[in-house]
Amino acid sequence: VLAEIITIGDEILIGQVVDTNSAWLSQKLNQIGIKVKQITSVSDDFSHILSALQAANDRADLIILTGGLGPTRDDKTKTALCEFFNTKLVFNQSAFENIENLFTRRNIKITSENRKQAYLPENCSPLPNMIGTAWGMWFEKNDKVFISLPGVPYEMKHLVEEQVLNRLSQRFRLPNIIHKTILTVGIGESNLANIIEKWEDQLPTFIKLAYLPSPGMVRLRLSAEGADKMELEQEVEKQTQRLLMIIPQYIFGYGEDTLESTIGRLLLDRNLTLSTAESCTGGYISHLITSVAGSSRYYQGSVIAYSNDVKVSELKVSKELIENLGAVSKEVAEQMAAGVKEKYKTEYAIGITGVAGPEGGSEDKPVGTVWISVAGPLGIVSKNFFFGDDRSRNIRRSALMALNLLREQILNS
Amino acid sequence: VLAEIITIGDEILIGQVVDTNSAWLSQKLNQIGIKVKQITSVSDDFSHILSALQAANDRADLIILTGGLGPTRDDKTKTALCEFFNTKLVFNQSAFENIENLFTRRNIKITSENRKQAYLPENCSPLPNMIGTAWGMWFEKNDKVFISLPGVPYEMKHLVEEQVLNRLSQRFRLPNIIHKTILTVGIGESNLANIIEKWEDQLPTFIKLAYLPSPGMVRLRLSAEGADKMELEQEVEKQTQRLLMIIPQYIFGYGEDTLESTIGRLLLDRNLTLSTAESCTGGYISHLITSVAGSSRYYQGSVIAYSNDVKVSELKVSKELIENLGAVSKEVAEQMAAGVKEKYKTEYAIGITGVAGPEGGSEDKPVGTVWISVAGPLGIVSKNFFFGDDRSRNIRRSALMALNLLREQILNS
């Protein structure tokens, strides 16, 4: 089954908004075995929408439109759909009652513009939207399926997950596809590829492997396609376990896990607490840790020691040490970790100091130099990194490497 | 002049990568007076690329392709371009020497795949790419311009800014367009629209206003189009000054400014220092402040007091106060701000405490409740906010409102 996505909206064509809907939708369609052939972004214009529909009709079996259904727009999408299907708009009582309910709850008066949103093409099967005023629409014509969805990402995703994916699986004969994403950290793509080459070569032909690199991380996605869903799941699980035997130290999670959620789980399981002392990362590690809901159960807090004065007064870093070795040194990172660990009375603590840039670099400590220490029950370990010139990337990579060093230490204990 | 952007790459169609190139390119084209009519994403496939080229040729005056030029790909873009223009690939000595140089610098051996990148269609005018191996290409056919660019965002942007925009301005007769973006914070879109309605109504017809809302902020973009560039600039400046008289308190900057960079400038100008004490935002405010290069000149650091113990021991918040009023209260926020201000010896300090969610809410302090205090030379001011249910949005909006309260206090002093 080949699909085409048509996104409607001038805001995309003037570059005001990045079209994230299409990528999300493509992923979801791929997961149920539908391949996206083309993505087309067109303007809020009757004839442009109509010609995009006609062109997509020649290419794809499934056409999904997003956007162009808002109350302040001139509703060109629905008019174009009516023209394409040779039908007319009719008033839908349920859709109108839903709009009324939404407005009553928000204490807003309903306008004639909003009432227009309750008119839907006569030939469509409506996809009720309880969290917004624009309903989705499902059409069929000559064995092809057309779906029109609101452009608001939250509403579009809700409709797709609650109604569209199920209905597509029933409507089309789709292959069974199982996906599993294995998350690795601390090793680059080409090194990883070398280490797991033999494992990759022995994968059965119905399992495909994709490398998805991002700064500091590589995600490995296994996609298995076949007739027996249970068999696919078992084989993917078996291959995952094999991989785990080869690179146990690099795999930190699966699917939607993050390094910070993994650490949270490790600490909770062991009933341990954490604190941090950050210089160059300036609170970014703390931000990642506290972005996990429930992190207050293991995270005590941080000393963001951006100035050397604070390092000395709050973390008891030796002033002489800073003067002799500089603030970016193994010893200072260690004293920061030890200092906050004692101060906040936690089992684990991270200390980090580095040159994020663009200023502050020197011959022997260029921009991108970072020292990371983790203090734990068994003592302190430290690691040195050299990243690049880009400030925001240095901050991000430093934080990931610090969280990974912490993860390793918890697992080693 | 109407443009169409064609992005080539399977990674976009499987949703692995969000197409940010198109939005960036659309903005740049808009700024020089070229309107993007359609964006089309197609697969790495010879006939698909060819049919997309033919369809775009019927719609647009300018067709820009990105992607599909990498060394590991089967080079379908260049083959499709040759077919479309009825020409053939020829070896380009300068392009090859550039690839050789790049590889020598990185100490990598050149492969035959890389050598292939030096072959370009005979009819193109090459756009030399000194930072990557894939060169850009400029074609003309029947008064239309076709440009093929690498898909790596960094290389694409470099070529567009250094070569393409200039050449387009020379090639087409483009209108003069001046853009100015005015950044506001602390007021919603509809309230803002009401307050500035009269100003909006008196704008000359050659100046268009667009509202670009994002959580916590509204950007106002003025676009002026006309014959005399200098006159346009003067009029936009005049109108900006008029707006500044109406809403001085809401405008924090222009163009690429951020709230955190504006605060940095205000503090540097006045030779003042800052510290923060964060609970619910968990380091995000500190992260924003330190994302500005050079922030170590005014930012001392933060106490991330995620636990109540740390609030009491490090910030001298009264234990009784927390027991009686709860950690989310005006008094605690004030003591946090005062505590860190004294401890880190700064002129300004932010204290913030709230319920980020999803847990921790209560009847009188639901999820989304936040107290923000700013301590400064003239005393302490506090503000109370009620955001929504979403944890990450609560953190982001709390941080923005805290930075804005600080900005107001610095300006009021």
Please write the tens of the pLDDT for every residue from A229-255.
999 999 999 999 999 999 999 999 999
Model pLDDT, residue B388? 85
Nearest C-alpha in A relative to B17: A23
pLDDT reading at A138 higher than 60:
yes
pLDDT reading at A52 higher than 80:
yes
A13–B395: do the CB atoms touch at under 8 Å?
no
Whether the CB-CB separation of A93 and A100 falls below 8 Å is answered with: no
Taken in order B130, B132, B134, B138, is the CA torsion positive or negative? negative
B36–A15: do the CB atoms touch at under 8 Å?
yes
CA–CA dist A76, A70 (Å, integer): 10
CA–CA dist A333, A340 (Å, integer): 11
Compute the nearest-CA separation of A40 from chain B (Å): 5
A282–B291: do the CB atoms touch at under 8 Å?
yes
Q: How far is CA A350 from CA A383, B82, B288, B289, in A?
A: 11, 57, 20, 21
Q: Which residues of A touch B395 (CB under 8 A)?
A: 287, 290-291
**Starting at the edge strand that comes first in sequence, how are the strands of the sheet with B251-254 ordered?**
B207-214, B217-226, B176-185, B251-254
- DSSP run (H or E) holding A160: none
Q: What is the per-residue burial (b if ≥16 Cβ within 10 Å, else e) of A178-206?
A: bebbbbbbbbeeeebeeebeeeeeebeee
Residues near A30 by beta carbon (within 8 Å), at least 6 away in sequence: A36, A177, B14, B15
Size of interface A-B (CB pairs under 8 A): 228
B282–A295: do the CB atoms touch at under 8 Å?
yes
**pLDDT (tens digit, 9 = 90+) per residue, B290-335?**
999 999 999 999 999 999 999 999 999 999 999 999 999 999 999 9
B329 — phi, psi (to 5°)? -155, 160
Alpha helix ranges (H) inside B68-107: 76-85, 93-106
B393 is written with which tokens? 């949005």
Model pLDDT, residue A72? 62
- Assign B109 a pLDDT band (cuts: 50, 70, 90): confident
As a whole number of Å, the end-to-end CA separation of chain B is: 51
Nearest CB among B13, B276, B303 relative to A36 is that of B13
Burial status of residue B333 (CB atoms within 10 A of its CB: 0-12, 13-18, 19 or more): buried
User: CA A313 from chain center: how many Å?
Assistant: 39
**pLDDT (tens digit, 9 = 90+) per residue, B123-172?**
999 999 998 889 999 999 999 999 999 998 989 999 999 999 999 999 99
Mutate to test the interface with B, among A14, A209, A261, A346 (most CBs of B within 10 A): A14
CA–CA dist A235, A317 (Å, integer): 53
What share of chain B has pLDDT > 90, as a percent?
A: 79
Model pLDDT, residue A103? 83
Long-range contacts, A95-101 (Cβ 8 Å, 24+): A95/A120, A95/A126, A95/A128, A95/A135, A98/A128, A98/A129, A98/A130, A98/A133, A98/A135, A99/A133
Cβ-based neighbour number of residue B3 at 10 Å: 26
Mutate to test the interface with A, among B41, B177, B276 (most CBs of A within 10 A): B41
- Assign B74 a pLDDT band (cuts: 50, 70, 90): low
- Assign A397 a pLDDT band (cuts: 50, 70, 90): very high
Q: How many helices (H) and strands (E) does chain A have?
A: 17, 17
Please give the sequence-ordered ranges of beta strands (E in DSSP) within B122-216, or none if there are none: 125-127, 136-141, 144-149, 176-185, 207-214
Compute the nearest-CA separation of B275 from chain A (Å): 9
A307–B286: do the CB atoms touch at under 8 Å?
no
Model pLDDT, residue A180? 93
- Assign A47 a pLDDT band (cuts: 50, 70, 90): very high
User: Considering only A69-73, A281-285, A319-323, B141-145, which range has the smallest mean pLDDT?
Assistant: A69-73
Q: How many helices (H) and strands (E) does chain B have?
A: 17, 17
As a whole number of Å, the end-to-end CA separation of chain A is: 50
CA–CA dist A390, A394 (Å, integer): 6
Q: Tell me what the pLDDT averaged over chain B comes to.
A: 94
CA–CA dist B224, B378 (Å, integer): 42
> Which amino acid is located at B235 in the chain?
E
Q: Which residues of B touch A67 (CB under 8 A)?
A: none
Nearest C-alpha in A relative to B305: A301
Q: Which of B357, B180, B315 has the alpha carbon at shortest distance from B256? A: B180
Nearest C-alpha in B relative to A393: B291
Predicted TM-score (pTM) of this structure: 0.86
Q: What is the average pLDDT across A76-105?
A: 93
Q: How far is CA B304 from CA A136, A349, B275, in A?
A: 45, 14, 11
CA–CA dist A69, B314 (Å, integer): 53
**Starting at the edge strand that comes first in sequence, how are the strands of the sheet with B379-386 ordered?**
A379-386, A369-376, A348-354, A274-278, A299-305, B299-305, B274-278, B348-354, B369-376, B379-386
A86 — phi, psi (to 5°)? 55, 55
B365 — phi, psi (to 5°)? -130, 80
- Assign B76 a pLDDT band (cuts: 50, 70, 90): confident
B293–A391: do the CB atoms touch at under 8 Å?
yes
Compute the nearest-CA separation of A221 from chain B (Å): 11
Mutate to test the interface with B, among A54, A66, A223, A307 (most CBs of B within 10 A): A307
Q: Which of B315, B365, B323 has the alpha carbon at shortest distance from B342? A: B315
A218 is written with which tokens? 């590589």
**pLDDT (tens digit, 9 = 90+) per residue, B214-245?**
878 899 999 999 989 999 999 999 999 999 99
Nearest C-alpha in B relative to A40: B40
**pLDDT (tens digit, 9 = 90+) per residue, A274-296?**
999 999 999 999 999 999 999 99
CA–CA dist B83, B46 (Å, integer): 9
Nearest C-alpha in A relative to B25: A15
Residue in the structure block whose two tokens are 């205090």? B373
Compute the C-alpha angle B304/B307/B313, nearest 5°.
80
Nearest C-alpha in A relative to B395: A291
Radius of gyration of chain B (CA): 27
A300–B294: do the CB atoms touch at under 8 Å?
no
Q: Which residues of B touch A392 (CB under 8 A)?
A: 291
- Assign A190 a pLDDT band (cuts: 50, 70, 90): confident
**pLDDT (tens digit, 9 = 90+) per residue, B351-398?**
999 999 999 899 999 999 999 999 999 999 999 999 988 899 999 999
Mutate to test the interface with B, among A34, A156, A306, A322 (most CBs of B within 10 A): A306
Whether the CB-CB separation of B276 and B350 falls below 8 Å is answered with: yes
Compute the nearest-CA separation of A171 from chain B (Å): 21
Q: Which residues of B touch A291 (CB under 8 A)?
A: 282, 391-392, 395
Q: What is the average pLDDT across A372-386?
A: 97
Model pLDDT, residue B72? 62
